[in-house]
Structure 1
């Protein structure tokens, strides 16, 4: 597997963001954004999907989102304005001096990628993993589920719908104060706005992943959407190399 190099750049308000790179520097830049409570290491590197993309010739650039992984998670509410993750993404793209690149996000990363495009980012191609149409338009409801898990952390018992989120936060040692502030910075994206995402876009989703609605419906709503199904549910789909292979095939 290619070596992973890590550097730090300043995001919104000077927050220190970790950016992990894999693959030849001369390869085509591909920015990968991980999901909520995860990290670049867990979402992309650990199970080999970043390696597949690096071997396919991409220079893979993987930031840890604010309040995740090795990136800072300030406790000041002022550090979490609306769409702060989009501002961080723009800062990473500027720091890496990217002008011609592809962009891929999984779950919260997919939401961030869509919001970034709507805010003016212009990747050649876009990949949205683990995301459906209602996951974009109904984020407030989804966010409330995670806020509830944070607020009841340590008291949630097996069988409760929030148990999996609690367990993942424990595993990832999530800073719950920062994570709660971050959740409040992410907004809904209307189905009408999706029509403005005009570049070729792959919606790739696990066969048993229904957490964010139908990825097939999202692909059909996009002007140049394509749907691909891979194994797994929302938690496990990133552990299968089928995810990386589907992304590589689409971007080739």
Structure 2
């Protein structure tokens, strides 16, 4: 086992092959890590050291590449990326690994997916850590159509929208499937009603960076 360069496996759900890692202590409390938009399990969780840190602390560490990302299949229909659909992928991974319930740690889009998992399958979620998404969970985080347009533009040089340029440059750097990412950003933006947030009764920690201009306040 190498927590700095873990091995990935695949499982099938909803007609897709989805990539995941399963590291750390097999007998430890399971933590499922769910990455953000245009990223991957490797970029969000392996390279920054989360997999190693949690594994060293005795946890069983599971992380998947969301559909459209990393080593997972990449549909191009926006409806394939509705957050409850992606939440079902995460629960299906727990089924595949025969894990009754896990702690969910989601970042940005992964935080939204984690909340939908907690609302739709509350018995599968032991606690939540939501990073990089605060009040934007319920109030939205701005206009994402320019980002989809930027991802489909002929080149980075032809993109003038600042946030669009940022995501396009990142997608180019990670050699991502930009058509799939454009579908994802168009399909995964459903908001959570504030009344539904109040239905979550597991321990929940929300963390937002002080210079994050997308996530909104964690309060």
TM-score > 0.5, shorter chain as reference: yes
Quote the RMSD (CA, aligned, Å). 2.1
Aligned twin of 1:239 = none
What does residue range 1-80 of structure 1 map to in structure 2 within 5 Å? 2=3, 4-12=6-14, 14-75=15-76, 79-80=80-81
Contact 1:133/1:191 (8 A) holds in 2? no
What does residue range 1-252 of structure 1 map to in structure 2 within 5 Å? 2=3, 4-12=6-14, 14-75=15-76, 79-80=80-81, 83-122=84-123, 123-138=125-140, 141-152=142-153, 154=155, 155-157=158-160, 160-186=162-188, 187-215=190-218, 217=219
Query: 1:153/1:65 Cα in 2 relative to 1: closer, same or farther (>3 Å)?
Result: farther
Q: Distance between the aligned counterparts of 1:30 and 1:211, measured in 2?
A: 26
Structure 1 residue ranges (4+ consecutive) displaced by more than 6 angstroms after TM superposition:
none
Cα offset, 1:205, TM superposition: 2.4
Q: Distance between the aligned counterparts of 2:149 and 2:104, measured in 1?
A: 31
Q: Distance between the aligned counterparts of 1:208 and 1:147, measured in 2?
A: 24
Query: 1:55/1:191 Cα in 2 relative to 1: closer, same or farther (>3 Å)?
Result: same
Query: What residue ranges of structure 1 are gaps of 5+ in the alignment?
Result: 218-252
Q: Deviations over 1:219-243 (max 9, x none)?
A: xxxxxxxxxxxxxxxxxxxxxxxxx
Query: 1:60/1:96 Cα in 2 relative to 1: closer, same or farther (>3 Å)?
Result: same
Contact 1:24/1:54 (8 A) holds in 2? yes
Query: What residue ranges of structure 2 are gaps of 5+ in the alignment?
Result: none
Query: 1:107/1:145 Cα in 2 relative to 1: closer, same or farther (>3 Å)?
Result: farther
Query: 1:153/1:83 Cα in 2 relative to 1: closer, same or farther (>3 Å)?
Result: farther
State TM-score, norm by structure 2.
Answer: 0.88
- Tell me which moved more, 28-37 or 126-135: 126-135
Cα offset, 1:153, TM superposition: 5.3
- Tell me which moved more, 106-115 or 186-195: 186-195
Contact 2:208/2:215 (8 A) holds in 1? no
Contact 2:46/2:52 (8 A) holds in 1? yes
Contact 1:84/1:185 (8 A) holds in 2? no
Instruction: Give the paired residue count.
Output: 213
Contact 2:25/2:59 (8 A) holds in 1? yes
